[in-house]
Amino acid sequence: MTSVDDLWFLADGACQTAEQTYHQLREGYSGYVEFTRHRNVPRNRFRDVAMAARDHGAPYGAHTLAYRPSGELLLVRHEGVDMWVLPGGELDSDESFQEAALRELGEESGIEASIEGLAMLGRVEFYCDGNMAWGVLPVYEARAETTDIAVDDPDQEISEARWFDELPADTRDREEILTWRGQRFGGGA
C-alpha cells in the first residue's frame, strides 16, 4: 500500500486560504509596498507555516510599521534572527490582523499607536520536498500615540526596541521599509 504524503494536502489548503486573505487585503487597502520572499525550509517547519497559512492565511501573523510624525521608525531587536525587525507576530485565536499587530507592538515595545492603513503586503513562499505553500505578511502603518519604550515580550525574543531616523544595515526587509518611507515621507535612508 502506498502512503500519500499529507504535506501536499496541507500545502493546498494553505495556498487557498492565503489566496483569499491576499485578495481581501488588496481590496481593503491601497498605496502599500508589495514584496515576495522565497524560503526553503525543513519538513517540520513547512508543516508549521502551512498549518498557520491554512488557518488564517498569515504564517508570520501581522506586523506594524510604527512611526513618529518626525519620520523616525520603530524597530525591535529579534535575538532569534539577530536582526532589527518590525514588531509583530502570530495571531491569538479570534484576533484580527490589526488587533494582533497592535498587541504585538505593545508587547515588544510598549508603544501605543493608531493604524492608518497597510504599509506593506508580503507574499512568503515556502518550499520543501517538492511542495510549495505560501502565506501573506500584512504590515500595518501606524502613527505612534506614545513613544516611551518598554519591552515586555512574553516570548522573550525581543531584547531591545528603538526609534531610528536612519535604519541599521542589519534591518530585515530594509529596502521595502525604505521604499514605504520614501512614499510616505519623501525620501530618507
Is the pLDDT reported for residue 4 higher than 70? no
- Cα-to-chain-centroid distance, residue 13: 21
Q: What cell numbers appear for 81 in the block?
A: 534572527
* pLDDT score, position 3: 43
* pLDDT score, position 6: 86
Q: What cell numbers appear for 18 in the block?
A: 492565503
Bridge partners, residue 131, by sequence? 128
* pLDDT score, position 156: 86
Q: What cell numbers appear for 82 in the block?
A: 539577530
Report the half-sphere exposure of 138 (CA within 13 A, side-chain side). 30
Is the pLDDT reported for residue 186 higher than 90? no
Q: Which pLDDT tens digit goes with each residue over 34-71?
A: 999 999 999 999 999 999 999 999 999 999 999 998 88
Q: What's the helix, strand, coil split of the chain in %, to 5?
A: 35, 35, 35
Quote the CA–CA distance of 116 and 114 in Å, as a whole number: 6
Quote the CA–CA distance of 144 and 57 in Å, as a whole number: 27
Q: Which domains does the chain have, with CATH numbers?
A: 6-185 (3.90.79.10)
Quote the CA–CA distance of 24 and 26 in Å, as a whole number: 6
Q: Which pLDDT tens digit goes with each residue over 77-92?
A: 999 899 999 999 999 9
* pLDDT score, position 74: 98
Alpha-carbon distances of 176 from 99, 143, 157, rounded to whole Å: 23, 18, 23
Q: Which pLDDT tens digit goes with each residue over 73-129?
A: 999 999 989 999 999 999 998 899 999 999 999 999 999 999 999 999 999 999 999
